[in-house]
Amino acid sequence: MNETVLFYVFGTMAVVASLLVIGQRNPIYSVLLLIASFGALSGLYVLLEAPFVAVIQIIVYAGAIMVLFLFVVMLLNAPHEETEHDERVHPLMQRGPMRFGALLAMALMVELVWALTSGRETGPFGAAAVSSVAALGRSLFGPYAFPFEVTSVLILVAMLGAVVLARRETPDE
Amino acid sequence: MYAAGRVARMTPLLVAQIVLTLFVFVMLLNSAAVMVYVERKVAAMLQQRLGPYLVGPKGLLQPIADVLKLMFKEELRPKAADAFLFALAPILSATCAFAAFAVVPFGAETTFFGLLSEPIKLQVADVNVAILVVFAIASMSVYGIVLAGWSSNSKYSLLGGLRSSAQMISYELSYGLALASVLVMANSLSVTDIVNSQSGTWLGVLPRWFVFIQPVGFLIYMISGIAETNRAPFDFPEAEQELVAGYHTEYSSMSFAMFFLAEYINMVTVSAVATDLFLGGWHGPFLPASLGWIWFLLKVAAILFFYVWMRWTVPRYRYDQLMRFGWKVLLPIAVVNLLVTAAAVLYFNL
């Protein structure tokens, strides 16, 4: 009973905070709302009897990655998003890479809807397996080693993409 | 009926737990007051001055006078500040400082001289991943400082906040790795288990404290602990000669006091965790286990004195030196230390 109530409290917090993240004009508030959303997710992990994952969620995401985000936002000191130069052209109508990105985003959307509605069982992942640090480590470096390593490659690709996108175009070279 | 009976039976324990929680809260508040006095007195001793001596005997009532003064000061807020975040930042700092101590045990299980039917742990909350909780809350405490720096809308504050975030990211890694090497040795994430694995002595003389097998880990922990709590020689977020007062330049009255409180409570927490992890917690000779908390207090006091001593002895680093030291010296040593520890534990089957 209590757990159901807490589930809805944390779930609502996570969803509302995540929605507000993209609704904010001020990037600092977006960062803070994202941290709040991570906090709510961590609460959900505790309800799933995975205290280790919950704490790691706080340490890695809320404590380390978001500090970096905040650092960059503060360093650039971008106060508010510019709205005057917004041309309001749909990304699909724009040239080159933008259109490709929009297509990829749509593909991701379709995949997510398919994955969430296909109703496949995710398989047993018992409370003992997630709550014990040793068991978690064994499954990360045993049966889940491949997805784990592939994820790190994915993150590397995303980083490269960010560097390429942020690179200043110099006309002479 | 059954439930009512259970509640009735639970009551003495529940009351004891609530009293314990309140006690820890008040003691943390007091520890900050005591630390203010100790810091001023020790600083004066080191500089051949007298320090506070007018208010009360030997100036002992000085912290009370300080708090009264702070309470009666006007609360100021810059016009261009972000009102919500400006108010939130000190609250965040103080909350994190108090919350981190919740999972730190400070004594063996006790019945309070037979007052309770079952023994309770001298700890606010017993979590099985306690040490990671301390680490997580410590990593959240940077937000109070960063947000204070940004929301004040002042250049000095912003620089203080930026320095703080860079410094805390850099030293958190070494801090975590130093903790990890102890976790590997104790084979547990619970602080109580870690303390209990340090009971007894080697050859009947040397206590089995982790500091003797993990001297490097202890050094790394202390150095990054000082950096994490923004104390001299790593007090860059508030370097007064360069940044006026850093992130709390624009704060006055009680909201300033909250930052001050948070800094001292964080020091107490770092010292308490160091005691539990490296110095055997409440284990010590001469005293029965029920009075182990006296040993705990003595050890924490010794580390706190070391903190103050450092501040008034070692000059502040330069900012680039701090960063270079964190990434190029401390982090590699911490990684090697963890690798060697893990290999030794595997090889000797400790």
Residues 6+ apart with CB under 8 A from B201: B207, B208
- Cβ-contact B109, B122 below 8 angstroms: yes
B164 vs B166: CA distance, rounded Å = 6
CATH of the domain at A73: 1.20.120.1200
Q: Which chain A residues touch B140 with a CB distance below 8 Å?
A: 58, 62-63
Q: Domain locations in chain B?
A: 2-348
Q: Which chain A residues touch B139 with a CB distance below 8 Å?
A: 58-59, 62-64, 67
Q: Is residue A152 part of a domain?
A: no
Q: Is residue A140 part of a domain?
A: no
Q: Which chain B residues touch A35 with a CB distance below 8 Å?
A: 143
Question: What is B275-336 written as a DSSP string?
Answer: HHHHS-TT--SSS-GGGHHHHHHHHHHHHHHHHHHHHHHSPPPPHHHHHHIIIIIIHHHHHH
Min distance B247 CA to chain A CA atoms (Å): 13
Query: Cβ–Cβ of A71/B166 closer than 8 Å?
Result: yes
Query: Cβ–Cβ of A59/B168 closer than 8 Å?
Result: no
Domain interval for residue A40: 1-80
Overall domain count for chain A: 1
Q: Is residue A156 part of a domain?
A: no
State pTM to two decimals: 0.79
Query: Cβ–Cβ of A35/B85 closer than 8 Å?
Result: no
Residue of A33, A70, A132 to mutate, testing the B interface (most B Cβ within 10 Å of its Cβ) = A70
Question: What tens-digit pLDDT sequence spans chain B (350 residues)?
Answer: 344 445 555 677 777 778 888 888 888 888 888 888 888 888 888 888 887 888 878 778 888 888 888 888 887 777 777 778 888 888 888 888 888 888 888 776 666 666 666 666 767 777 777 788 888 888 888 888 888 888 887 778 888 888 877 888 788 888 888 888 888 888 777 777 788 777 777 766 677 777 778 888 888 888 888 888 877 777 766 666 666 767 777 787 788 888 888 888 888 888 888 888 888 777 777 767 667 778 888 888 888 888 888 888 888 777 788 888 888 888 999 999 999 888 888 888 66
Report which of B276, B304, B284, B302 is spatially closest to residue B121, judged by C-alpha positions.
B276
Beta-bridged to residue B293, according to DSSP, are: none
Q: Is residue A164 part of a domain?
A: no
Min distance B114 CA to chain A CA atoms (Å): 34
- Cβ-contact A74, B146 below 8 angstroms: yes
Residue in B closest to A50 by C-alpha: B129
Other Cβ atoms within 10 Å of B316 Cβ, number: 17
Query: Cβ–Cβ of A71/B149 closer than 8 Å?
Result: no
Residue in A closest to B139 by C-alpha: A63
